[in-house]
Amino acid sequence: MGLLQLLVVAVLASERRVAGAAEVFGNSSEGLIEFSVGKFRYFELNRPFPEEAVLHDISSNVTFLIFQIHSQYQNTTVSFSPTLLSNASETGTASGLVFILRPEQSTCTWYLGTSGIEPVQNMAILLSYSERDPIPGGCNLEFDLDIDPNIYLEYNFFETTIKFAPANLGYARGVDPPPCDAGMDQDSRWRLQYDVYQYFLPENDLTEEMLLKHLQRMVSVPQVKANALKVVTLTANDKTSVSFSSLPGQGVIYNVIVWDPFLNTSAAYVPAHTYACSFEAGEGSCASLGRVSSKVFFTLFALLGFFVCFFGHRFWKTELFFIGFIIMGFFFYILITRLTPIKYDGNLKIFHDDGVFWVTFSCIAILIPVVFMGCLRILNILTCGVIGSYSVVLAVGSYLSTSLSYITLNVLKRALNKDFHRAFTNVPFQTNDFIILAVWGMLAVSGITLQIRRERGRPFFPPHPYKLWKQERERRVTNILDPSYHIPPLRERLYGRLTQIKELFQKEQPAGERTPLLL
């Protein structure tokens, strides 16, 4: 009998361990949503607001909690009370609240809801921190919440900007918070530093499941440091705003870790995500990225580029048209976009200065032709191979998301937007990018090799059109047996044609007196 009891206890213990897994699924229709610290909870929210959420058995060494809830594109609301107040609630796709715990407090309640018509699938988690940890958003003076741990995100075609409220030093339960602006010494919040992180979702995947799965890697401090790319570190003297290059259709998650170098403690803000496009129907929708006109244009452009890649040096005029079209199209697009209301929808700090960027860009553009000045045929063949094959990459980019298209797009953004110099231009480089890069390299190498082998023993370049015309003119003058020799000069032919046209409009003159024939 004792053995049976031991088996029952073991089974119950194993069930409890399973119930304490990292992810818990549920539905808000049950009326009360229970949370555990550090465990993700999936649930669905329906109208009307609110649904009550609760956390029990809070440890005494926890001084504040951060609750956060995430959805893909539908807004959800989290509030301290059933009544929505602007300074006690937060609404968005990534919303969070900070709970400053009172002495002896072991239970915490709050409220969740959505104002949308459709049910919203959510993922939420509670994180606990001690009195030594800095409080994200603890010195908020810009947004509505008194303590605001949220990251606010805005985007347009050119850049995505995140903003967040400054943090404050941690403190024990029942103690007044340290003043935010009483001093700027090492005993104040001015010693805090902010690390901004960026995380890319898999390309060409806009599913809700993929977003919520990867958001779990951007919630706590250890996970963010292990999985994301640190872009920049800000001090308390810097503006709490960072800009990035927009990547329409590419999912990106941003988060900020505030670090106290004196105590070597950290805390994470509530991560924010964006696709730089809208999930609602209409222009700019994520589902309608890549207009039909753009796809047709880049497909035809790729066909011409493919021809230039393999035959551009021999078909000289076609190559001149192709390169000239690129250059003139580039500059006219800049002029039209900057001077008219018409719009079409490596992070070194030194290059954030427009003067340094454009001087460097121009020097690189001039340096390559100077290096190959002694072998112009090789330079021209290299140009045909590289640029012609890159047009294929641009065509692929109009159908699939690829980071290689931003080689030219970021330069164009820099020329069109005066604020783009402050944006960080990181892009993901994933499996499809490696495949497209391999195709680009294969086409370029094949085109260059073919043209070099075919042009051996031939003149470096086709003869100049003016020289051909001059030779032809001399030949006609010296060779009287040439039928073209007897053709009048162009001036005489034009004069004769004008004379004939004038005669058509002249009245017939009287012929004078007529007499019958004498027999």
Same domain, 129 and 267: yes
Same domain, 250 and 146: yes
Provide the CATH number for the domain around residue 46. 2.60.40.10
As beta bridge partners, residue 95 has 69
- Domain with 337, as residue range(s), is 292-341+350-455
CA distance 132 to 175: 13
444 within some domain:
yes
513 within some domain:
no
As beta bridge partners, residue 77 has 91, 113
Residues 6+ apart with CB under 8 A from 296: none
pLDDT at 345: 43
Query: Which among 403, 433, 455 is the end of a domain?
Result: 455
Q: What does the chain come to in residues?
A: 519
Domain count along the chain: 2
pLDDT per position as a tens digit, 304-314: 878 888 877 77
CA atoms within 13 A on the CB side of 133: 22
244 within some domain:
yes
Same domain, 39 and 137: yes
Same domain, 412 and 267: no
The string of DSSP letters for 292-308 reads HHHHHHHHHHHHHHHHH
How many C-beta neighbours within 10 Å does residue 515 have? 5
359 within some domain:
yes
Same domain, 221 and 316: no
Pairing type for strands 193-200 and 241-245 reads unpaired
Same domain, 296 and 393: yes
pLDDT at 253: 95
pLDDT at 308: 81
Rounded average pLDDT per 10-residue block, the chain, 519 residues: 42 36 49 88 81 91 94 91 86 93 92 86 94 94 92 90 94 90 81 94 89 94 94 91 89 95 95 89 65 75 81 72 67 60 53 61 63 68 84 82 78 75 78 87 88 77 70 67 62 78 66 53
Pairing type for strands 76-79 and 252-260 reads unpaired
Same domain, 269 and 300: no
E strand residue ranges, 222-262: 229-235, 241-245, 252-260
Q: What angle do CA 471, 475, 478 make, to 5 degrees?
A: 140
* Helices (H), ranges, 138-232: 208-215, 221-227
Residue 73: both structure tokens together: 């594109």
Report pTM: 0.72
Same domain, 260 and 383: no
Query: In angstroms, how far apart are the furthest CA atoms of the chain?
Result: 160
pLDDT at 464: 65
Same domain, 297 and 225: no
How many C-beta neighbours within 10 Å does residue 206 have? 20
484 within some domain:
no
285 within some domain:
no
End-to-end Cα distance, the chain = 160
Q: Is the peptide bond before 50 cis (omega within 30 degrees of 0)?
A: yes
Q: What angle do CA 43, 48, 52 make, to 5 degrees?
A: 55
E strand residue ranges, 75-146: 76-79, 89-92, 94-100, 108-113, 120-129
Residues 6+ apart with CB under 8 A from 180: 138, 139, 141, 166, 168, 189
CA distance 406 to 394: 9
**Residue whose tokens read 């903003």:** 163
Same domain, 376 and 405: yes
> Quick one: which of 79, 95, 68 has its CA closest to 153?
95
Same domain, 296 and 196: no
217 within some domain:
yes
pLDDT per position as a tens digit, 60-108: 999 999 999 999 999 999 999 888 888 889 999 999 999 999 998 999 9
Query: Which among 229, 246, 274 is the end of a domain?
Result: 274
390: enclosing H helix or E strand: helix 376-397
300 within some domain:
yes
Same domain, 222 and 334: no
With beta carbons less than 8 A apart as the criterion, state whether 244 and 68 touch.
Answer: no
Query: Which among 398, 425, 455 is the end of a domain?
Result: 455
Pairing type for strands 159-164 and 193-200 reads unpaired
As beta bridge partners, residue 69 has 95, 124
